[in-house]
Amino acid sequence: MAHRNARRGHRLSGGGGHGPHHRDRPGSSGGGTLDRVGGSERGRSGVDRWKDSTRGQSRSEHSWRRLLRPSCADLMRWFVPRACRSGSALLALGLLIACGPAPDAQQSEMLLWTGDLETGDLSQFMDTPWNRVGGSPPEIVEEPVRGGRYAVELSIVGTTAPDEGICCGSRNEIEPKFREMVPGDDLWFAFSTFLAEGFPTTYSEFQTIMQFKQNFDGSPPLELSVQDGAFLIEGGYGHPDGPQVFSKPVGDAVTGRWHDWLLHVKFSPDPDVGYVEVWRDGQLALPRFAPETGTMYTNPDDGSARSSVKMGYYRDRSIDSVGRIVFDEWRIGTSRGAVGREAQP
């Protein structure tokens, strides 16, 4: 336990506010807010645009049209009481069902982004060279793959020094061409991971393979990591008010096979609102869990709360073993059905 606490303390260190998850973008200043490329434009074209498209239509109609094609409200007001009085209960029940609120198909089944690598390149992802320190360039591979023809491998081959770009770790990560998340977003994230043989699963030092990163320095509010032979959902280390750590095991970290993940996240810095649920290989691995720190952090500089998703491999720089991880079948959507995540053979 002492070793783990020491490790977490090291992870949070770094002068000038440059925490271990610092983006280290060219031209950025320490501790300032770092805007993602094109985030505002993507914000207008994702869920926000979908919300706009599903707003109610005008209620006013011409009287002649209502006579020719009565609305459900007209039928409910006039026909149902008469049907009931005349004994046509089944007909009345049918009208009640037909005129009841219909599910919003757009809301329940909207796929917002796909990262299946079937383009044969990284065009589904942003160009973020600052996310690579100590790792080889991301490589499109044809073996192993979870679906289709291509996947992407991200690897780290050794240790890194503090002067190689960031203070506290080695990283090889990519970011989807997707907008930033904001409070109130309710999203589903599906993806598959393959830890190659020899991946250092048993280290106690941190190894992050996916994270929801806040828009300022420090460890993220929510991440998927590998540690001590297990996959973990972790966070709370970098909260602006001080560490409020949580760590939830979500399965054994097995190498040489695919694992299919599904994360359902309600984004909010309010612990009474934000939560996360996790499925692994079609089985519930973490029931709805609401971190005390929320699923987002509020930026102390400007009061904003925004998060972006990153995937890949980020670890303590002292780990010297070669580590390779393959990702495939990434999807982001508004429901489980939208991302198509069911148990796969």
pLDDT tens-digit readout, 121-164: 999 999 988 888 877 899 999 999 999 999 999 999 876 655 55
Assess whether 204 and 245 both reside in one domain: yes
Assess whether 80 and 194 both reside in one domain: no
Assess whether 330 and 218 both reside in one domain: yes
Q: Is residue 10 part of a domain?
A: no
Assess whether 147 and 234 both reside in one domain: yes
**In angstroms, rounded to a whole number, what is the distance separating the alpha carbons of residues 197 and 231?**
16
Assess whether 277 and 319 both reside in one domain: yes
Q: Is residue 235 part of a domain?
A: yes
Assess whether 215 and 266 both reside in one domain: yes
Of residues 115 and 66, more confidence is placed in 115
Counting the structural domains of the chain, the total is: 2
Q: Is residue 31 part of a domain?
A: no
Q: For the segment 192-219, what is each residue's pLDDT rounded down to a tens digit?
A: 999 999 999 999 999 999 999 999 888 9
Residue where a domain terminates, one of 72, 102, 132? 102
Range of 98's domain?
64-102
Reported as a pLDDT band with limits 50, 70 and 90, residue 258 is very high
Assess whether 285 and 308 both reside in one domain: yes
Q: Is residue 32 part of a domain?
A: no
**In angstroms, rounded to a whole number, what is the distance separating the alpha carbons of residues 4 and 281?**
29
Q: Is residue 34 part of a domain?
A: no
Assess whether 152 and 248 both reside in one domain: yes
Q: What local confidence, expressed as pLDDT, does residue 259 receive?
A: 98
Q: Is residue 15 part of a domain?
A: no
**Distances in Å between the alpha carbon of 57 and those of 52, 53, 54, 104, 228?**
11, 10, 9, 14, 54
Q: What local confidence, expressed as pLDDT, does residue 162 receive?
A: 55
Q: Are 306 and 319 in contact (CB under 8 A)?
A: no
Query: What mean pLDDT do residues 48-72 have?
Result: 37
Q: Is residue 157 part of a domain?
A: yes
Q: Are 311 and 152 in contact (CB under 8 A)?
A: no
Assessment of whether the complete model's pTM goes beyond 0.85: no
Assess whether 139 and 246 both reside in one domain: yes
**pLDDT at 22 exceeding the cut of 70:** no
Query: What mean pLDDT do residues 237-258 have?
Result: 96
Q: Name the helix (H) or strand (E) containing 276.
A: strand 275-280
**pLDDT at 185 exceeding the cut of 90:** yes
Reported as a pLDDT band with limits 50, 70 and 90, residue 327 is very high
Residue where a domain terminates, one of 102, 128, 160? 102
Q: Name the helix (H) or strand (E) containing 73.
A: helix 72-74
Q: For the segment 23-46, what is each residue's pLDDT rounded down to a tens digit?
A: 333 333 333 333 333 333 333 333
Q: Name the helix (H) or strand (E) containing 277.
A: strand 275-280
Q: What would the two tokens of residue 270 be?
A: 């309010």
Assess whether 172 and 89 both reside in one domain: no
Residue where a domain terminates, one of 85, 102, 119? 102
Q: For the segment 268-284, what is each residue's pLDDT rounded down to a tens digit?
A: 999 999 999 999 999 99
Assess whether 216 and 317 both reside in one domain: yes
Assess whether 274 and 313 both reside in one domain: yes
Average pLDDT, the chain: 77
